[in-house]
Structures are given as C-alpha cells and as structure tokens.
Copies of this chain bind each other. A is one copy, B any other.
Amino acid sequence: MKESNPDNGGNNTKKAVILVSGGLDSATCLAIARAEGYDCYALSFNYGQRASSELDAAMRLASAFSVRQHQVIPLGIGQLGGSALTDASVAMPESGVVPDQIPVTYVPARNTVFLSYALAWAEVLEADSIFIGVNALDYSGYPDCRPEFILAFEQMANLATRIGVEGRPIRIKTPLIDLGKAQIIAMGHELGVNYGLTVSCYQADSKGRACGRCDSCRLRRKGFDDAGIADPTSYVSR
C-alpha cells in the first residue's frame, strides 16, 4: 500500500486541493483556503480553452500564493466538442445578457471532470478538502455549479475513494457559492488578492489583455464598479 503521508499524521497540517483557473473566483478561493490554514495544492487544466492566458494567470497565482505544488493537467475534453470555450465554430456571446438557458460557454460535464481529477489528487495527498470557486452567478446557468450538484459529487466522492471508505471524508468546499461578483471581489481584496494577476476574459490576447466586450469582461468590470474597488485589469477596449 501507499505509505501514509507524514504531514498528515500527528501534526495539524491540513491539505487542500484548489481548482485554479486563473480567474478571479478561483484566486479568491485560493486566498480563502490559505486564510483557513490549509497547505494549498493548486490544480489547473489545459483543455484547449481559447484563452491560454488563463493558464499563465493560474501559474502567476500559484506562485504568488506560494502553493506547495501546482499541477497543470492536459485534458482531452476539447476533442469531445460542444462548447464555445473549446470549439472555435461556436460564436462567443457578447450581448452582456445572462441567458435563461444553459449558455454556449458551458463545457459538457466540465466541473465533474475537474473535480474528479481533484479527487484523485486529494486521495494521493490524503487531503481533506477540495476548493472550487463556483458562485451564485454561475449556477444561474450551469447545472454543474449548483449546490445540489456539489453535494451529490461529495457523496459520490466519499464512496469512490479509499480515504472516503476508510472514514476520512473529503469535503468539497464552495466558499463563494452564495456570493455575487462584487462580494467576491470585496472578500478577496480584504484577503490581499492581487486581481491584476487574474484573467477573466474568454478571449484575452497573447499579452493577457482582456477584450472588454465579452460577457465575462462585462461581469468582471461591473463587479469592481459595484464593489467600489479599482479594476486593475488591462483592457484592449473599454
């Protein structure tokens, strides 16, 4: 069997795997996990998302927060098709209107896949928590951001794994789940997050500059406005 990890024995070190996309939600999540005293293990994915500058941002954040380890997992999810985020043939929405329906930027089963990898790593690390930055805005549109999904994933996770079966349950933590963008920004600001390191834009350029037009840019800008905090984002256009 795998040797038990010495960090997880007699002392109080808690470990958490944090899903870090490079956006402002996951940056805030990382800050919260650190503030709660966790040893942080950052997990990012390269899944053919259009904005590779997101990944650069994830690396800057992992470094800024001095995480114990940062893994970037290549995913084949893009080859399955079906989303504007990975499929260049689907138009990117710029209307500024949050749709009633599930948006085209939805990647099929994305959070299920992301959390599954986080679970695999959490099991190897004997971590007790996984942090994911889903929030109130997300779950209006994406089924895999709703609280009932998160709870069902947690229940499944504790049946799926050695550590779950051995009675040390893994928790899926969603500290942002009831918060809007302005509240998230205010909380992160309080915790010292440098949002200049983050990228939200679906189509940022190679220098990491945001387009200023896509729905993600609009939501981000409005969040800073509503929070009354200066937006450090570099926009191509305003």
> Which residues of A pack against B, CB within 8 Å?
1-2, 71, 73-77, 79-82, 90, 101-102, 104, 106-113, 116-117, 119-121, 123-124, 143-144, 146, 148-149, 152-153, 155-157, 159-162, 164-165
Contact = CB atoms under 8 A, between A and B. Distances in A.
Nearest to A156: B152
A98 to B, nearest CB: 15
Chain A interface SS verdict (over half): helix
A143 B164 contact: yes
A159 B79 CA distance: 23
Given A71-B76, A74-B74, A156-B156, 8 more contacts: A71-B80, A73-B76, A77-B117, A80-B124, A102-B165, A109-B123, A112-B119, A146-B159
A119 B159 CA distance: 18
Contact of A80 (B108, B112, B120, B160): B120
Contacts of A144: 159-161
Contact of A156 (B74, B77, B155): B155
B111 A113 contact: no
> Which 10 A-B pairs give the minimum distances between C-beta atoms?
A109-B120, A73-B76, A152-B156, A108-B123, A82-B124, A108-B120, A116-B116, A149-B159, A113-B116, A144-B160
B160 A109 contact: yes
A112 B164 CA distance: 13
Contact of A73 (B2, B79, B116): B79
Contacts of A82: 2, 123-124
Contacts of A165: 102, 143
Contacts of A143: 159-162, 164-165
A190 to B, nearest CB: 32
Given A79-B71, A113-B117, A152-B155, A162 B124 contact: no
16 contacts: A1-B104, A73-B76, A77-B120, A80-B121, A108-B162, A109-B116, A109-B119, A111-B160, A112-B119, A113-B120, A143-B165, A144-B161, A146-B159, A149-B156, A152-B152, A153-B156
